[in-house]
């Protein structure tokens, strides 16, 4: 039986929910307070058998990120399961510097497969621990936002925050 802990905190971009395993590694996260939506980011085989509400170590990093320390998320442990290419891709996403997004084509090159642009986009789409594995830092060629499971408005605000653009209040 695997037991996971779930915590939802308030952020300027709305409710942010974090699901961690017993070792405090982030399994899934995103801008919602819907538990089923968070669990739905995981493959069925990787879902915990039980979820309880509680405190997570990762929440402090999210608070620090939104407080202006955009590197606070860098060292938060995550647990992801996938193919060798997906694992390599998720690891590569963590090395994209805040304020310096890549295009999907540049991301494919970073993965060593310049013709695998669709695969690169799929790696981003299947990323469960959003924010901690910053798939929001990958854009379409020409700078268009592309997709984001948590909404393009959230993606744009994350990119603006990381680029040092002041947030509009109100």
Domain boundaries, the chain: 3-66, 84-162
**CATH class of the domain comprising 84-162:** mainly alpha
Helices (H), 24-130: 35-39, 58-66, 84-93, 104-110, 117-125
Q: Two tokens at 102?
A: 């890549």
Active-site residue, selected from the candidate residues 19, 135, 138, 139: 135
Q: How confident is the model at residue 170 (pLDDT cuts 50, 70, 90)?
A: very low
Distances 68 to 53, 62, 75 between C-alpha atoms, Å: 27, 10, 16
Residue whose structure tokens are 């879902």 = 47
Q: What is the pLDDT of residues 98-146, one digit of tens each?
A: 999 999 999 999 999 999 899 999 999 999 999 999 999 999 988 889 8
Q: Is 135 a catalytic residue?
A: yes
Length of the chain in terms of residues written: 170
């Amino acid at each position: 039986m695997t037991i996971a802990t779930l915590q939802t905190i308030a952020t300027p971009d709305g409710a942010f929910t974090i699901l961690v395993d017993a070792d405090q590694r982030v399994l899934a996260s995103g801008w919602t307070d819907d538990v089923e939506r968070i669990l739905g980011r995981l493959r069925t085989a990787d879902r915990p058998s039980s979820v309880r509400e509680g405190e997570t170590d990762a929440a402090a990093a999210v608070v620090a990120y939104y407080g202006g320390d955009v590197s606070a998320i860098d060292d938060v442990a995550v647990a992801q399961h996938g193919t060798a290419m997906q694992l390599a891709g998720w690891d590569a996403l963590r090395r994209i510097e805040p304020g310096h997004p890549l295009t999907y084509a540049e991301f494919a090159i970073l993965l060593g497969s310049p013709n695998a642009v669709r695969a690169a986009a799929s790696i981003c789409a299947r990323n469960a621990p959003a924010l901690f594995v910053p798939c929001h830092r990958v854009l379409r060629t020409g700078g268009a936002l592309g997709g984001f499971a948590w909404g393009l408005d959230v993606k744009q605000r994350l990119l603006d925050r990381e680029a040092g653009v002041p947030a509009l209040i109100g």
